[in-house]
């Protein structure tokens, strides 16, 4: 009971720090014109919580994991995005491919003599390697909080299903103010629709990431997955798709197709995680994470 009280107090401290640093990150968005400060605010809240609650930073999952786990974490969001957009193109929710986007990449990369396919492949390679590496610090800042800290702390109080769904939904809620204020999302579909679909997609993704965190005891698969998902959706599949009048309802992180596909994958990991982690999870939490 005493340990549960300690965990509840620690989680409360984290939420208070998260709100406090959120305002700082939000203010810096307007100063810097990018979301990086808000992402890093989660990591700052985590480190402050560790300081206030005398938790070791080494327990946040810094240890390395197998290359196979990292490879799966990198490729799985690509597969989810690919399946989603194949459905979008086949069902007529959007068309492949946007030649204006390819033309803009030709100009940007100074590859006017290359054909469209070569430019597209080059773009995927550039996004998948260079942009991926550049995005890692800000992604790490966020993942230290959600998967590095929140997942193992929740595991001291609830089952894997509870941990996975709760951590994923808290992650989704973190984005709500940006969506409500019109800084994130689209200007086509209703606000409630965007909040619902986005929350479903992010919560499903959170379930998958919670599984990798608990399986590997490392935060790095979550960092890799998060970065890969952001880049392939936002810089490859969405811009290469020709939007129709109804596309906003189906494409991108605020469209129904990706939310449904990600949820199907999440159900698999929810069942897999329940089978692997349910036995004596609460009693062994301290020995299962960060040690």
| pLDDT value at residue 277 | 87
| pLDDT value at residue 288 | 44
| pLDDT value at residue 279 | 61
Residue 102 lies in a domain: yes
Residue 159 lies in a domain: yes
Residue 49 lies in a domain: no
- Residue 264 structural domain: 61-288
Residue 138 lies in a domain: yes
Residue 220 lies in a domain: yes
Residue 97 lies in a domain: yes
Residue 149 lies in a domain: yes
Domain count, the chain: 1
Beta-ladder partners of 96: 241
| pLDDT value at residue 26 | 85
**Average pLDDT for runs of 10 along the chain of length 291:** 87 96 85 81 95 93 95 98 97 93 95 94 96 95 96 94 97 94 91 97 98 96 97 96 94 97 98 83 47 41
Residue 29 lies in a domain: no
The model's pTM is: 0.92
């Amino acid at each position: 009971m005493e340990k549960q009280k300690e965990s509840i107090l620690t989680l409360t401290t984290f939420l208070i720090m998260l709100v406090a640093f959120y305002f700082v990150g939000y203010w810096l968005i307007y100063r810097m014109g990018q979301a990086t400060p808000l992402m890093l605010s989660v990591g700052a809240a985590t480190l402050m919580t560790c300081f206030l609650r005398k938790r070791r930073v080494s327990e946040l999952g810094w240890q390395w994991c197998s290359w196979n786990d990292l490879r799966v974490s990198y490729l799985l969001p690509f597969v989810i995005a690919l399946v989603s957009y194949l459905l979008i193109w086949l069902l007529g929710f959007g068309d492949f491919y946007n030649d204006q986007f390819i033309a803009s990449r030709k100009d940007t990369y100074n590859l006017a003599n290359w054909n469209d396919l070569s430019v597209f492949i080059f773009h995927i390679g550039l996004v998948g390697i260079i942009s991926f590496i550049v995005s890692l610090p800000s992604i790490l800042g966020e993942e230290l909080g959600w998967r590095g800290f929140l997942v193992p702390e929740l595991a001291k109080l609830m089952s894997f299903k509870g941990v996975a769904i709760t951590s994923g939904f808290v992650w989704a809620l973190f984005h709500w103010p940006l969506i409500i204020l019109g800084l994130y999302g689209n200007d086509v579909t209703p606000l409630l629709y965007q909040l619902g679909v986005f929350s479903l997609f992010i919560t499903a993704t959170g379930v998958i990431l919670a599984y990798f965190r608990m399986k590997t005891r490392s935060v790095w698969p979550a960092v890799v997955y998060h970065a890969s998902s952001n880049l392939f959706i936002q810089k490859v599949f969405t811009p290469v798709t020709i939007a129709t009048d109804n596309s906003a309802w189906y494409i991108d992180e605020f469209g129904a197709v990706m939310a449904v596909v990600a949820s199907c994958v999440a159900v698999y990991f929810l069942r897999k995680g329940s089978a692997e982690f349910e036995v004596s999870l609460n009693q062994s939490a301290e020995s299962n994470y960060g040690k």
